[in-house]
Chains A and B, each alone.
Chain A
Amino acid sequence: MATRSNILVCGGTGCLASESDKVIKNLELIIKARGYENEARVIRTGCFGFCEKGPIVKIEPDNVFYVMVGPKDAKDIVDEHIIKGRTVDRLLYREPKANEIINRQEDMPFYKKQLRVALRNCGLINPEDILEYIAFGGYEALGKALTSMTRDQVVDEVKRSGLRGRGGGGFPTGIKWEVTKKQDDNEKFIICNADEGDPGAFMDRSILEGDPHSVIEAMAIGGYAIGASKGIIYIRAEYPLAISRLNTALNQAREQGLLGKNIFGSDFSFDINIKYGAGAFVCGEETALINSCTGKRGEPNYKPPYPAEKGYWGHPTCVNNVETFANIPQIITRGADWFASIGTEKSKGTKVFALAGKVKNVGLVEVPMGITFREIIFDIGGGIQGGRKFKAVQTGGPSGGVITEQYLDTPIDYDSLISIGSMMGSGGMIVMDETDNMVKIAKFYLEFTMDESCGRCTPCRIGTKRMYEILDKITSGKGTMADIDALKQLAYMVKGSSLCGLGQTAPNPVISTLKHFWEEYMAFIKDVDNPRGEGRHIAKNKIKFATEK
């Protein structure tokens, strides 16, 4: 039944932690008490992204955006806004710089520079109602692919769009699909990697919580393209809300005949199973993930053979990340050319970043590739908290490096980030201010990779441990120049000789902090007076050798 007003309340994990469920309950109670059930409806949506100011409440069609709404504010929203038509000014967003009230979402600096493709439905629809997804164009792409496109055309469309893997590596999605499609096997699999392990990144979780159907639809499209009739979503067991919404969505899709046999009357049949992770960062690596799906320890394998040739139970398997999938339906409906018109030459489309740390507006932002760090941190993020000075930003989580002020105007894409010593990763973006000690940050990341190293290959298992020990020695004031040399040498050794991406990237935080924050290391070192000891000389030559390969 259509109502005059829709009250959208954020039901993402962040807002739920600030009692948005109570806000919903109170709104519903008061609406009922006032006899306005036919006039206003409360909808629990996915994440709006503006987590700093949560819980978020948005009134449609008035397009009014309320921030930091508490359970007690429900009365005013109903009595003033819904019944009397007056906005509740005290709940509106106040722009701190100009100190002016902004009531429309699109006028807020946090949203102005964003372009939402993967997050298009998050904060807009009720994720537990497939009809809302369909009303916003959902499953149109699947219908189009199945009824009017050949498998080759689908693969070609994705290839031409220039979409690259959003989980970190940035491998072209279309090529992955093409290789899997080419394999000669009756049974193939398509897997969604929802084992979001980067501490500080939560975009995959938000997509699954806010718009689970976009992933399901994309997996079906992918299944059709590569010739797979079975899909698997591998998700962290620590994400109970995402799991529950995903299950609801899968059941609704089956009821509507959008999963199952002969979808859209075609001869294509497809269904999806959920497999649960159990807390292992390395399972984000695709061969480790596949091992974990078969109930084993999640250790990576040597590649080749690639999963596209020999994956799940030995069959060709295509593994894509949640955010990658969320882009697919839009690419099919709006076309590769539209998608390729966004972004930079080699990195097309948008990227979702989890902006966190010492920035004023913490939250989830989706921006076109090619935007600069300065725009994200200072325009969208509102600058540094407490008026302190910016020091660095870490991208790529434990696999990335720190980016300093001199690179703030670098346009962000896969290749530019690598060239400045970091990487895209899954999109965590942690901002640090002048009070953060970078050696301790490097130690923090090493502690993480040391814990998460699966132990399969020696360089990573022992190397990360030794590096952590050295960093611990340095930060406790007992380090010497010889330790710095050993640390450097180990860093390049682990990077060059580890089996999988975890080990190959684990030293990045150390390498980049050594490069940009040498003086902070030196501040911990006792024999600063003798910076050019013999050890340093030897290490230098070794490093040269390691980087030349």
Chain B
Amino acid sequence: MTKPHEIDVYEPVEGELPKEKFDELEAFINSLESTDGALIEILHKAQNLFGYLPRDVQLFVARKLGIPGAEVFGVVSFYSYFTTEPRGKHTISVCMGTACFVRGSDKILEKLKEKLQVQVNEITEDGLFTLKDIRCVGACGLAPVIMIDDKVYGRVKEEELDGILDTYR
């Protein structure tokens, strides 16, 4: 299997991404006992650091591991947890699990799209919110559920949305 390459570590071109984060990512990769099978783990770390996985980060990982960039992109695009777009300051996740769906989460999602003027996986104009739909939070007793960052709001009603959003504005 692949081993970390010593050669030409990729230098980010656009220069917008902070170098110290690349250094931290590099240190993390070097600290692994073996990089065999560790690609997903490394991408989790990278997304934690940068907030998302832009092309430069993917290529950096590819060069470090000595694998084609396409292989990294293949993994990034396969898993819904990984995102190649920057996120807003807060992430609003609307649970679209079945329990929430039958209790009207689709209407909550529509209302949020309307209020924030975005589609799913888009960022609001002021950069404050990203709207997402997720599968199941596991809080089915409180359906319908939305999550803002790590905070769960249960039994959400359409008319409560403004109040909830205002606490983040």
Contact = CB atoms under 8 A, between A and B. Distances in A.
A408 to B, nearest CB: 18
Given A54-B141, A362-B99, A436-B102, A294 B37 contact: yes
Contacts of A294: 36-37
A295 B37 contact: yes
Interface in B123-169: 134-143, 145, 150, 152-154
A375 interface: no
Interface in A271-327: 275-281, 292-299, 313
A278 B80 contact: yes
A514 B38 CA distance: 45
A363 interface: yes
A430 B98 contact: yes
A528 interface: no
**A17, A277, A293, A444 — which one has the most chain B CB atoms within 10 A of its CB?**
A17
B139 A200 contact: no
A54 B154 CA distance: 11
A199 interface: yes
Nearest to B141: A51
B99 A356 contact: yes
A58 B77 CA distance: 46
A461 interface: no
**B39, B74, B98 — which one has the most chain A CB atoms within 10 A of its CB?**
B98
B82 to A, nearest CB: 6
Interface in A27-74: 51-52, 54
A358 interface: yes
Contacts of A293: 37
Given A199-B135, A237-B81, A280-B79, A51 B43 contact: no
A124 interface: no
Contacts, number: 129
B141 A430 contact: no
**Chain B: interface residue count, which band?**
35 or more
A206 B150 CA distance: 18
Contacts of B39: 295-296
Contact of A357 (B37, B74, B98, B142): B98
Contact of B81 (A14, A202, A278, A357): A278
A14 B37 contact: no
Nearest to A17: B152
Interface string A426-464: 001010100010000100110010000010000000000
B136 A280 contact: no
B99 A13 contact: no
B113 interface: no
Contacts of B145: 17
B38 A356 contact: no
A275 B41 contact: yes
B96 interface: yes
Interface in A194-245: 197-202, 205-206, 237-240
Given A294-B37, A362-B99, A13 B138 contact: yes
Given A357-B103, A430-B99, A279 B138 contact: no
A200 B80 contact: no
A144 B48 CA distance: 43
A277 B78 CA distance: 11
B140 A200 contact: yes
B17 interface: no
Nearest to A16: B152
Nearest to B151: A17
Given A199-B98, A432-B102, A205 B37 contact: no
A359 B82 CA distance: 35
Contacts of B43: 278
Interface in B43-66: 43-44
**B143, B150, B153 — which one has the most chain A CB atoms within 10 A of its CB?**
B143
A13 B139 contact: yes
Ordered nearest first, which 6 A-B pairs have the shortest CB separation?
A51-B141, A199-B97, A278-B79, A202-B138, A356-B99, A17-B152
Given A237-B81, A354-B140, 14 more contacts: A17-B139, A197-B135, A199-B96, A237-B44, A278-B80, A279-B81, A292-B40, A295-B37, A296-B39, A356-B99, A357-B103, A362-B143, A394-B98, A454-B78
